[in-house]
Amino acid sequence: MKKRGSKTALTMSYPNWFYLPAVITFAIFFIWPTLSAFYYSLTRWTIFNATFIGIENYVQFLSDPMLSIGLKNTFIYGILTSGLKTILALPLAVLLTSGIRFKGFYRSLVFFPVLVSTIAVGITFSILMQPNQGLFNVILASVGLPRVDWLGNPKLALFSVIFVDVWKGIGIATVIFMAGILAIPQDYFDAVKLEGGFYIKFRHVIIPLVRNSTFTVILLSFIGGLRTFDLIWAMTGGGPGFASDVLTSIIYKQYQAGFYGLSTAGNVILFFMVTLLVFPLRSFFNSKEIEV
Amino acid sequence: MKKTGLFALALMVLLALSTVLYSAGKEEAVEAEGPVTLTYLVASGTDSTQAQVMTDAYTAMNPDVTFEIELRPGGTDGDNVVKTRLATGEMTDIFYYNAGSLLVALNPGETLVDIADEPFMDVVDDAFKMTVAKDDGVFGIPNQTAMGGGILYNKKVYADLGLKVPKSWAEFAANNEKIKAAGLTPVIATYGDSWTSQLFVLADYYNVQAEEPNFAADYTANKAKYANTPAARAGFDHLKEGFDKGWYQSGFATAKYNQGLEMLATGQGAHYPMLSFALTAIKENWPEEVENIGFFAQPGNSASKNGATIWMLSANYIPKTTTGAKLKAAKDFFAFVVSPEGIATMNAGFPPSGPYLVKGAELPADVLPAVNDISSYIDSGNSAPALEFLSPVKGPRLEQFCVAVGTGQMSPEDAAANYDKDVANQAKQLGLAGW
């Protein structure tokens, strides 16, 4: 028997027992709940017992006619919020890294909504969007425009929530972009100074060199959009009717109704959906990443 | 050496902790022999006011027993709290909850104390017992009063416009057009609190059973459906008609229950499809106006078969986790609630919104006009319990379908068909035969 080299010595000084606390914590709080969720999604689960029923929950969940509305809304929500945040945050980040005055003040102003609780934001905006006395409509009315039923109009409700989500989440995206811009070496800016104005700088230096930040923003806000719940719940509860229901609010309502097995199946579906969408996206982005 | 030291320390900490926990548990058991504190879970809002009135009165008579009222949200959020706490054995010593189909979902035989044989149950009306019974057990003691579900209306508006209480849907629709022409809101809708949207469907049950007497039994047995029973679907049709004819106020899709009450009390709106427990809130906030509020049964197709749908009382229950002195105290409190003193306390502290269903319990002479309206339907035999007290199956998404129809997003036919699927889910979850 040959002893292994210096690597063994290193391993020896930290015996495997040291992993134990972490492994136990991880197993109890992550692995076990995940595995049992897979099991319970195959059962009809009341508060007291769970009867194994095979894939019936999945069949029922996927054949639910309201699910298609929820799925569509989830995608609209994920794509629009991540798209808008990316498009709006980049110019903001450029502005806030430029030489304007009161930069610090503006930066905290943009970041402020991130710090407020989502539920509080939701409740505040649903009051602002109240159809008769809400501030939004009072302003519209004072300049002679027709009142808009922001959250009550089934065609509009989801987009009103998306607007608030963008307002609230743009701070994080801006900060990520700012970090990306500030990491660009000054040489590049000096190099294009000869070429001309701001457009060249923006188009040929900033956009290509903040690519990594762009990917991070898109990915984070897309995942966030797919699994969003709190804002929708606080503002519309998925309503009116099913108009702004997303996957998570459907799952929550089934849980509320006591359909624990069915809602667990919904969660498993959400888990796979996010994984299937995000992993390819991430590896695509990773392959395109650049070194500054 | 060092390692052993650390290990020993960890062990000691663990041991110390467990002794603390153990002795804490023991202390509680000893304490229960003397004065008793009962924890009491109720829904926030008017229910909690009522619980406060009753528990205060009881503690005044029995200083040894005090109460700690815990609040939970109403609606499906509250259902979840109750179910979860029961399932984990963390329920309060006594709790307040609905009777009927919602109770059945709590699996009462396994979770609740059977009080069928307690002497205080003798005065409780059998019609009520039916709604808190499962298999052989009876689990609840009535709390508050039964309610009428139908149309609360503003009598002043009716007098000003010279309208008559409608007995058929056609008359109701005609009234609504006159009210609309007068610049008022004919029907108040408050879909921002989506549970309020269900009344047109649920309060229509008197009319359903008038046309299809076997509906409840057939519906429970998976034979009758909303989609293929026109009388049952009528509720959804009404929601659509209200939307098509513009009976609802502007901004109704996000309006809240309290705004609805205000509109009705102040006469901006003429009709509010609602349960009569709303009268309590109206009396609290608009004590002058509550005398102008009346009640009529939701009209159906035929004026000759007009009657009211009645909601049974909610109840108080004892979970099986309550034992010993606490159980004894809880039962004694229940006996007080249905005793003449208990009823008198309730009458004094809390305006009744319908009959008590306790033998010998009288409504006070100065009862609200709307409650008199409800009582006259019951006294003349023109009333029927709501479907949720006759059948354990009630789909949890009814309110969403009602809002979808009432905002013009879904046809009544689709809503009825989809609601039937929702009902099937619930029946399977309850393990009913034939689904």
Q: pLDDT tens-digit profile of B179-203? A: 999 999 999 999 999 899 999 999 9
- Under DSSP, the state recorded for B298 is P
Q: What's chain B's average pLDDT? A: 87
pLDDT, tens digit, 9 for 90 and up, residues A66-94: 888 898 999 999 999 999 999 999 999 99
Judge if B379 and B266 occupy the same domain.
yes
Would you place residue A277 in the very low, low, confident or very high pLDDT band (cuts 50, 70, 90)? confident
Judge if B414 and B335 occupy the same domain.
no
- Long-range (24+ apart) CB contacts under 8 A made by A279-286 are A281/A219, A281/A222, A282/A219, A285/A215, A285/A218, A285/A219
Contacts of A257 in chain B (CB under 8 A): 76, 79, 396-397, 425-426
Helices (H), B266-361: 278-285, 324-337, 340-349
Mean pLDDT of the B17-28 span: 44
Residue with the bigger pLDDT between A290 and A184: it is A184
pLDDT, tens digit, 9 for 90 and up, residues B257-313: 999 999 999 999 999 999 998 998 898 899 999 999 999 999 998 888 899 999 988
Number of domains forming the structure of chain B: 2
Domain that includes residue B272, residue range:
147-311+372-430
The pLDDT of residue B330:
94
Mean pLDDT of the B67-76 span: 88
Of B167, B133, B165, B131, the C-alpha closest to B146 is B131
Residue A38 located in a structural domain: no
pLDDT at B433 over 90: no
Q: What share of chain B is helix, strand, coil (3-state, %, to 5)?
A: 50, 15, 35
The pLDDT of residue B5:
54
Judge if B306 and B417 occupy the same domain.
yes
Judge if B154 and B235 occupy the same domain.
yes
- Under DSSP, the state recorded for B197 is G
Nearest to B250 among A131, A239, A257 (CB): A131
Would you place residue B253 in the very low, low, confident or very high pLDDT band (cuts 50, 70, 90)? very high
End-to-end CA distance of chain A: 49
Mean pLDDT of the B170-176 span: 95
Would you place residue A117 in the very low, low, confident or very high pLDDT band (cuts 50, 70, 90)? very high
The pLDDT of residue A292:
59
Nearest-CA distance from A79 to chain B in Å? 24
Tokens of A109: 């102003």
Q: What's chain A's average pLDDT? A: 88
Nearest-CA distance from A142 to chain B in Å? 18
Residue B295 located in a structural domain: yes
Number of domains forming the structure of chain A: 1
ipTM here? 0.82
Determine the distance from the C-alpha atom of residue B52 to the mean position of all C-alpha atoms in its chain, rounded to a whole number.
18
pLDDT, tens digit, 9 for 90 and up, residues B319-357: 999 999 999 999 999 999 999 889 888 888 877 888 888
Would you place residue A31 in the very low, low, confident or very high pLDDT band (cuts 50, 70, 90)? very high
Contacts of B80 in chain A (CB under 8 A): 255-256, 258
Contacts of B431 in chain A (CB under 8 A): 44
The pLDDT of residue B21:
45
d(CA B291, CA B376): 17
List residues bridging with B142 in a β-sheet: B315
Would you place residue A98 in the very low, low, confident or very high pLDDT band (cuts 50, 70, 90)? confident
Residue B200 located in a structural domain: yes
The pLDDT of residue B204:
95
- Look at B107 and A262 and tell me if their CB atoms are within 8 Å: no
pLDDT at A134 over 80: yes
State what percent of residues in chain B have pLDDT above 90. 55
d(CA B116, CA B129): 9
Name the pTM for this structure: 0.82
pLDDT at B174 over 90: yes
Task: Using CA coordinates, name the residue in chain B closest to A63.
Answer: B421
Judge if B248 and B338 occupy the same domain.
no
Judge if B183 and B213 occupy the same domain.
yes
The pLDDT of residue B28:
42
Mean pLDDT of the B25-54 span: 75
Contacts of A241 in chain B (CB under 8 A): 400-401, 403-405, 407, 409-410
Return the half-sphere exposure (C-beta side, CA atoms, 13 A cut-off) of residue A75: 7
Residue A229 located in a structural domain: yes
Measured between alpha carbons, how far is residue B318 from residues A160, B86, B119, B332 in Å? 45, 11, 16, 12
Residue B111 located in a structural domain: yes
Residue B244: CB atoms within 10 Å = 9
- Look at B407 and A237 and tell me if their CB atoms are within 8 Å: no
pLDDT at B24 over 60: no
Would you place residue A281 in the very low, low, confident or very high pLDDT band (cuts 50, 70, 90)? confident
Which residues of B lie inside 8 Å of A (Cβ-Cβ)? 76-77, 79-80, 83-84, 86-87, 105-107, 110-111, 191-192, 194, 250-254, 396-397, 400-401, 403-405, 407-410, 418, 421, 425-426, 428-429, 431
Residue A93 located in a structural domain: yes
Cβ partners under 8 Å of residue B314, min gap 6: B47, B96, B97, B98, B99, B143, B144
pLDDT at B90 over 70: yes
d(CA A244, CA A236): 7
pLDDT, tens digit, 9 for 90 and up, residues A180-237: 999 999 888 888 877 777 888 888 888 888 988 999 999 999 989 988 999 999 999 8
Judge if B303 and B319 occupy the same domain.
no
